[in-house]
Amino acid sequence: MASRGYGQYCGLARALELVGERWALLIIRDLLVGPRRFSDLRRGLPRIPSNVLSDRLKELEERGVVQRRILPRPASATVYELTQYGAEIEEAIMRLGTWGAQALGEPRPDEIVTADSMTIALRSTFVPGQATGKHLSFELHMGPVVLNGRIDNGNLQVGEGPVPQKDLVVYTGPALKRLFDRSLTPQQALEADLVTIEGDPALLETFAQVFQIGSHRETASA
């Protein structure tokens, strides 16, 4: 499928021609977490028809954004991953995600969260300057999605699934966005049962401090 041209000699116009088709940015979002098999991408994007996913991957390959790689035995599976050029879009994806998050209200009836979408959400809202000198290992539960994370002196690592040792376990839902945009304090979230935890409540304060959405991110990063 030929990309739609905008008739503009402009970097933004060219970027839209490369990745502006429906579903393309969400495919790239999931590949920013790591290489994925076709079935992994389908599972993470359950509403995308298989033929559309095939088309998008083919287009992204042709444009030098995505490449295929065969895993060594015993896996011997084909995975899709971002090229070096494709990976350069990461910062733009992160900024676009945090900008869009400001418009999130309550989830629509047909909306879900996935491990990959939440991984990118944590990575994009993390403010290293707020985490300087802080150390925290945590588990985050949002419905069926379970992530683990470690904050070490301004650095963040995020993985999927539970871990045996952690300082804090957080159970929540859409209220997480309100913690990150500061419209809800950790104490208010706990008192209203919008968030429940295992661990010291003071650690929830630390957790909420290092993830931020909104205009105050610039101040916090300065």
Q: Is the pLDDT of residue 58 over 50?
A: yes
pTM above 0.85, yes or no: yes
pLDDT given at position 218: 53
Rounded average pLDDT over 5-11: 93
- Does domain 115-221 fall into CATH 3.30.1050.10? yes
Q: What residue spans define the domains of the chain?
A: 11-88, 115-221
Tens digit of each residue's pLDDT (9 = 90 or more) over 162-219:
999 999 999 999 999 999 999 999 999 999 999 999 999 999 999 999 999 986 555 5
CA separation for the pair 170, 109 (Å, rounded): 23
C-beta of residue 120 within 8 angstroms of C-beta of residue 33: yes
pLDDT given at position 216: 53
Rounded average pLDDT over 44-69: 97
Rounded average pLDDT over 41-65: 97
How far is residue 196 from each of residues 5, 115, 117, 161, measured CA to CA in Å? 49, 20, 22, 18
Residue 64 has φ and ψ, to the nearest 5°, of 80, 15
**Which pLDDT band, with edges at 50, 70 and 90, does 1 fall under?**
very low
In the chain, DSSP assigns E strands to 66-70, 78-82, 135-142, 145-152, 155-160, 168-171, 196-198
CA separation for the pair 218, 182 (Å, rounded): 14
Q: What is the CATH number of domain 11-88?
A: 1.10.10.10
Rounded average pLDDT over 90-110: 94
pLDDT given at position 220: 53
Q: Is the pLDDT of residue 83 over 80?
A: yes
Rounded average pLDDT over 42-50: 96
